[in-house]
Chain A
Amino acid sequence: MAKNIVEKIWDSHVVYQEAGKPDLLYIDLHLIHEVTSPQAFEGLRLAGRKVRRPDLCFATMDHNVPTKNLPTINDPIAKKQIMTLADNAKEFGIQLADIGHPDQGIVHVIGPELGLTQPGKTIVCGDSHTSTHGAFGALAFGIGTSEVEHVLSTQTLWQSKPPTMEIRVNGQLGIGVAAKDIILAIIAKWGIGVGTGHIVEYTGEAIRNLSMEERMTICNMSIEAGAKAGLISPDQTTVEFLRERRFAPSAESFDEAANYWLSLASDTDCTYDVVLEINAEEIEPFVTWGTNPSMGTGVSKTVPTSADYTSESDKSALNKALTYMGLEEGQPISSIEIQHVFIGSCTNSRLSDLRTAANIIEGKKVAPGVNAIVVPGSYSTKAAAEKEGLHKIFLDAGFEWRESGCSACLGMNEDIIPFGERCASTSNRNFEGRQGAGARTHLVSPAMAAAAAIEGHFVDVRKYVTQVV
């Protein structure tokens, strides 16, 4: 019987199955960071339990780490949390990319970089953006701290098999339109709850044409559509990305592994519980105007008005969002002035993101009154970018070039947007207070963020990129 990739991976990971119970699933890779793990390790200690498979765990610090003046960590509570992870990794024998280690970085950036992320694996992390790893055709999802403890103890999780959803992106993406715009368009079209309870597979010509880094951007934001996980069937692009990565299969077994990975792709006549379709041609560079990721529109458009909504609860949500964001109904998106630009996060901080942004700003200057920072997703990304001289382009334009970490995506470190100020951000969430109390976040692609940095307000980046491509 024809199967989709979710069914193939699920069926091959069932440890125990019984009617009336969730399935007991084996977990192949457990990624760990400092914020959602301390209580789990403490739970193990209190119960006198061990980590069952430390060899299948990999830990790093990312959420709290400062992105300047390292190795000093000024915040004593953050420092304690970071030190606690180092102590726990040592006590339980888990491999750690510590602060200052060349492998350190955002957990969802380093997993793929190191080749830990591979097709067909079940991957979990105490972080909702674990869906990123689905770009490789892995079944990857975020879990809570109690589940982190459960995986540490048993290397398994009880999971009910969710229904599947295909989101097919037909046709070709326009020049200057990014993977970020695809996922923001999907969420705007169907809402932040569309994927709730489902695992999404992204398919179609536009998805097939994306690089691995672009696929990661799409899968990363699956959770912003409510999905449990989002993935893309592996193909030759996936295989080539993994070749010669440190934790990828060695040269002797690589071909065998690659054949297995390719066999996991959804069968052509497989089915899904829900199918949605969107045309890539109708997607333009996106900007969010509200306080959840579905509140976004094309850069040529205007902020909605209450007349655009029928239900009272939607009108009220619009009103609340615009009050928080300090915007007027019907205001053109291009008239929104920004004071901050953040290029970073597990969504858009990889080498290709930095290259795209650098292309836009090369030879130009950040607009007066705009603070712009670049936070590479990992030390490896940072080193690669510096080798190409990208840091010079950013610095010459007036950007700050920072150390790696989650940074202003959630502002757990000092990288906070001040009250009432506005940020063009390549991150994934524009919730109230996400980047700092009272901060106003607009989610955009790296190219759109770079263009906004130069002009001081949102602008259609396609006027820049037609010359570049």
Chain B
Amino acid sequence: MEPINIVNSIITPLDRKNVDTDQIISKEFLKRIERTGFGRFLFHHWRFDAQGNENSDFVLNKPEYQGSQILVAQDNFGCGSSREHAPWAILDYGFRVVIAPSFADIFHNNCFKNGILPIRLTEIECDEILAKGLASPYSVEVNLEAQTVVGSDGKVYSFNIDPYYKQMLLNGWDEISLTFQYEDYIKAYEDKRVAF
């Protein structure tokens, strides 16, 4: 996967909580057997009406947010289904960073496997960034190494991240290759494993 460290972009303010993975990528698009090409289906039923016309009120369709690489939302982002098609769609659309007060566990894990940086900020900080982004296009610089989000107005937000996953993202490591280095431990475990 592609390493990630610094991302400088306007934010896309998705002012909703409990955004579930059914909304991120709807079930009719899960039948493809590829990993790529899901971006055009991202948030399909919010972006388009039943006739396939663009819904101009939806944030992804607004001209001022085009080209954004940073999605900001409210609490419990990515809840529900384990479908990795959700982060694939987010990445393929062009986002590299998702900021929210909290993430559902499986979605959070899936991000790290795909070079997407999920950032937890407090609810107050997310509300503040959302408000700024909704009022007028708001740019920030995300710095993974420094663990900061710095707004174009100079405001600095700091975040925590598990050091293991930080290294994975900074280096773009393939986790399976890493695990193969522990082959002796796996073999030893299998030799003593109790199975009925």
Contacts and interface: CB of A to CB of B under 8 A. Distances in A.
A and B together in one complex: yes
Interface of A: 15-16, 20-22, 24, 26, 28, 35-36, 38-39, 42, 47, 49, 52, 63-64, 75, 77-78, 80-81, 84, 118, 126-128, 142-147, 149-150, 153-156, 158, 160, 162, 192-193, 196-197, 223-224, 226, 228, 249, 253, 256-257, 260, 292, 313, 317, 410-412, 419, 429, 431-434, 437-438
A153 B194 CA distance: 21
Contact of B74 (A142, A146, A313, A438): A313
User: What are the 3 closest A-B residue pairs judged by CB atoms, nearest first?
Assistant: A146-B113, A38-B33, A144-B84
B27 interface: yes
A280 B131 CA distance: 43
Interface residues of B, number: 50
Contact of A128 (B27, B87, B106, B195): B106
B182 A16 contact: yes
Nearest to A157: B179
B18 interface: yes
Given A126-B82, A143-B82, A292-B79, 13 more contacts: A15-B185, A24-B179, A39-B84, A42-B35, A128-B82, A146-B114, A150-B176, A153-B179, A156-B186, A196-B76, A249-B196, A431-B23, A437-B26
By CB atoms of chain B within 10 A, which of A317, A411, A419, A433 has the most?
A: A433
In terms of DSSP, what is the predominant structure of the interface of chain B?
loop
Interface string B181-196: 0100110011001111
24 contacts: A15-B189, A36-B82, A64-B31, A80-B33, A144-B83, A144-B109, A146-B110, A147-B110, A150-B176, A153-B176, A153-B179, A160-B162, A197-B105, A224-B80, A249-B196, A253-B196, A292-B79, A313-B17, A313-B74, A429-B20, A429-B80, A433-B22, A433-B26, A438-B50
B109 A196 contact: no
Contacts of B79: 192-193, 226, 292
B153 to A, nearest CB: 24
A175 to B, nearest CB: 33
Contacts of B194: 260
A156 B189 CA distance: 11
A144 B87 CA distance: 10
Contacts of B35: 39, 42, 145
Interface of B: 17-18, 20, 22-23, 26-28, 30-35, 45, 50, 74-76, 79-84, 87, 102, 104-106, 109-110, 113-114, 162-164, 175-176, 179-180, 182, 185-186, 189-190, 193-196
A315 to B, nearest CB: 12
B31 A431 contact: no
Contacts of B34: 39
A20 B164 contact: yes
B23 A256 contact: no
Nearest to B32: A77
A437 B50 contact: yes
Given A24-B182, A36-B82, A433-B45, A147 B75 contact: no
Contacts of A21: 164
Contacts of B163: 20
A357 B57 CA distance: 44
Contacts of A256: 196
A16 B178 CA distance: 13
